Structure 1
Amino acid sequence: MNTAPALVVGLGCQRGCDVDTLLDLFNTTLKAHGIDRQRISALASIDRKQAEPGLLALAKLLNLPLRFFSAEQLMAYTSRLSHKSAAAYAHTGCHGVAESAALALAEQLGQLPATLLITRQKIARATFALACTG
């Protein structure tokens, strides 16, 4: 039985955000927190981003599964977010994509309650969060 915690990165991005921007945010944030990128189990986002070229390219480049959740599924995590964005809600129907997607997938993979290890990190065109179980 694998007891290693599930480490999941949640990502949000503006339409057309390129893979280099997402990769830089991914690498910079993990490095700043001393986390080896090999420890990441999967990527998560909102289902509205299923065809977003930058996200799909990042998952392929990192060789990680990318899972998507509906706004309704992500709304269940609103009370656990470090930041509730009115702009995110207006565009997506949930109060935060990166954090809620990370929590949702970490709990799905780990079969345990998840916590945010890295809260929302925002750059001009994208957001990053890291959740873990265990």
Structure 2
Amino acid sequence: DPGVLEEYDSCSLDHLALYFTLIKMLYLMQGIPVSGRHGAPSSALCGLVGAMEPSRRRSKVPLHQTSVRNEHAYYCCATQLLATYQMEGTGWSENQVNWAQLRALKERKPIYICGDSHTLPLAWQVV
């Protein structure tokens, strides 16, 4: 029943943390060219987010108050950024980033930014 809230034990929280981290890594890797693709969120990433959301929302205890708060924060940031994209034919299409323009900028020197989840919005973006 989707309306029933669950109190996750530490093992379940660890499993959630693994999936949250996987989603974060897939989001961060989306800007790495693989088989000619560059920039668009993969269907695997979008599918995994869709599969995780019901479990995330079912937590009786807010996840930011648990041992997986950091992984949850990165997950939330990545999924909120994914919401800015939409891929044609699947309900998602690009509406913020012109990836052709981004590739044209490859002659310019990149700026590398390191930080916590607060810098995630800068990943694969033209600043």
Does the pair score TM above 0.5? Answer: no
Query: Shorter-chain-normalised TM-score: which range?
Result: under 0.3
Q: Which has the higher contact order (CA 8 A, sep 6+)?
A: 1
| Structure with the larger helix share | 2
TM-score (norm 2): 0.26
Max radius of gyration: which structure?
2
| Structure with the larger strand share | 1
TM-score (norm 1): 0.25
